[in-house]
Structure 1
Amino acid sequence: MNENEHLKRGEKGAWLSITAYLVLATAKLIVAYIGDSEALRADGLNNATDIVASVAVLIGLKISRKPPDSDHHYGHTRAESIASLVAAFVMITVGIEVVWNTVSTLLNGETSTPSMLTAYTAIASAFVMLGVYRYNLQLARKIQSSSLYAQSKDNLSDCLVSFGAFVGIIGAQFGAYWLDPVTGVIVGLIICKTAFEIFRDASHTLTDGFDQKELTNIKGSIQEVQGVKKVRDIKARKHGKHILVEATILVNPSLTVEESHEISDNVEDYLDNEFGVTHAHIHIEPYKKKT
């Protein structure tokens, strides 16, 4: 399956999230208003922000499918990371709003007992989002999509948020009236935490950050390729799901240009097969014992 097919499949995951969030956000906000539940209201607002985040992911996936052009020689796959950043900003904005409103409710003593309808809505939503999470996680791993993986993490947090809202509502039924708004505060904090994690991962990729352990592993593997005497320098970065590597390797100085080039080709093939490195720039230098 080629890259465009992978990205098309990723769009299906984004559409699934959008549909689920649209239905659940509408149902939760209506039921929360009728049943008077701060926790379910916070959960509904959380899903409303997820609609915007999912649309951002969908747009990012569509842009990523564009082929390289005169201005983007490596393609447009970093649009996925930008989409993840947009999603993070939207989520943290609403998370802060949810925390602020529910804390105000607690301080003002505006507590009440929500109806059981809100509890049923929350637990049903938790199971729906669990199914969406499992689907998107498996799809993200299969097509190696960073934005869809971020989406699946958000799906899981939404599942936990809905379950937490259910617990808070049930607690209020037994006289712990404060538990419903407190759950709303916890929901807001979870939204902020998830947004921060997505922002951290996306910004790390966009600033050419790369896991040091993985880079060390790649360097050690290159040195095992026949003909490579030493790896003097190595750099790597991610471009969407692609890994780009630049390395300087030392080879026997008595080799011909053709023989040295063959070693370079072998290194590139090895990196592609073992680590999925789609672009490698290998620089050859002569090996000297005192180097």
Structure 2
Amino acid sequence: MTQMKPELGAWVSIGAYIVLSLAKLYVGYVSNSEALKADGWNNFTDILGSIAILIGLLIAKKPRDDNHPYGHSRAEHISSLIAAFIMMSIGVDVLINALQTLKDREYVQPDWIAVWTAGASAIFMFFVYMFNKRLALVTNSQALAAAAKDHLSDVLVSVGTVVGVVGAQLHMRWLDPVTAFVIGFMICKTAWDIFREASHTLTDGFDDEMLRRYKQEIERIDGVKQVVDIKGRMYGNEVVIDVTICVAPYLSVVTSHDIADQVERLLEQKYGVVYAHVHIEPYAQDHVFHGE
């Protein structure tokens, strides 16, 4: 697993979604199940989203150049945004179709094959979810983590489809389009969550709790008098930290540089920070150099 790359997860997702979307759309139209058709369209959006994520992951691997001194890692977040837009557009379409069916009261009783298709899909997607979730943790890929989150929603959607179709079989035919409406809502909700997380990162949002943890660790380093400022940002799966520390003003340049190296090693070895920029300032309250 440690040798695997995040692109593998995208390829697995694409393959799984192609099979599931074709199967669900075909069975959904044959069995007259609005819920299963909605589930199939949900998986179709996931194909497009997974392709966008794959492209983002491949672009993110490009090395640094003159125009991209930090590399191309943020392409992952852009691909997540594209996936969110695609999912939202189809989710709205599913909502509209479900509402139209409920309004017209044109209910039909789907066949039992829709139940077996949705049930098998839920089990299959659960294994895909577990695989990509683990791969996202190993590779520290936010785009793949977003894809795994979508996989889990797909599992719940398929379970909901089973409930809707079974209810329709029990003469509650309105339950099938209601389930389709719920599925459409879940597609939109997942799209919004992915959009919010990606846009937060692209606008240099960062976890305050992690910054507090970094600050506490740095201030424990011998020679660091105070952490004046610390900022963080994400470039794909890479963390970049800018920190300003205060040291005693009588220290030599070499000693101060050694302290800065210790800060960089701490952040890299303990937290996997790829880039750490350490700025050093004299500690204003330390007057030993002036004999006070």
Shared fold per TM-score greater than 0.5:
yes
Pairing partner for 2:33 from 25, 33, 37:
37
* Residue of structure 2 aligned with 1:184, choices 162, 180, 183: 180
User: Which one of 11, 21, 33 corresponds to residue 15 of structure 1?
Assistant: 11
- Partners of 2:38 and 2:201 lie apart in 1 by 31
Residues 254-277 of structure 1, C-alpha deviation per residue, up to 9 Å, x if partnerless? 110000000000111011111111
4+ aligned runs moved over 3 Å, structure 1: none
- 1:281 matched to which residue of 2? 277
For the residue of structure 1 that corresponds to 2:274, the secondary structure is: strand
Q: After superposition, what is the alpha-carbon deviation per residue over 1:87-137, rounded to whole angstroms, capped at 9, x for unaligned? A: 000001100000010110001001011000111101011111001000000
- Alignment partners' CA distance in 2, 1:210 and 1:246: 12
1:71 to 67, 73, 79: 67
Where does residue 59 of structure 1 map in the other structure?
Answer: 55
Q: CA deviation at 1:290?
A: 7.7
Hey, what's the Cα distance between the residues in 2 that align with 1:102 and 1:174?
20
Identity, in percent, stands at: 51
Is 1:96 aligned with 2:92? yes
SS of 1:70's equivalent in the other structure is coil
Which residue matches 1:119?
A: 115
Cα distance between partner residues in 1 of 2:277 and 2:210 = 18
Measured in 2, the distance between the counterparts of 1:31 and 1:246 equals: 54
- CA RMSD for the aligned pairs? 1.4
**What is the aligned counterpart of 1:145 among 137, 141, 148?**
141
Q: Verify: 1:232 aligned to 2:228, yes or no.
A: yes
1:197-235 Cα distance to aligned partner (Å, 9 max, x none): 100110011000001111111111110111100011111
Unaligned runs of 5+ in 2: 288-292
Task: Give the whole-Å Cα distance in 1 for the aligned partners of 2:99 and 2:119.
Answer: 24
- Partner Cα separation in structure 1 for residue 166 and residue 37 of structure 2: 15
CA deviation after TM superposition for structure 1 residue 288, in Å: 2.2
Tell me, what secondary structure is at the counterpart of 1:238?
Answer: strand
Separation of aligned partners in 2, 1:288 and 1:31: 73
Q: Which amino acid aligns with 1:121?
A: T
Q: Which amino acid aligns with 1:87?
A: A
Distance of aligned partners of 1:290 and 1:229 in 2 relative to their CA distance in 1, 3 Å threshold? closer
Match of 1:134 in 2: 130
Of 239-248 and 135-144, more deviation after overlay is shown by 239-248
May I ask how many residue pairs the two structures share in their alignment?
287
Aligned equivalents of 2:278, 2:147: Cα separation in 1 = 35
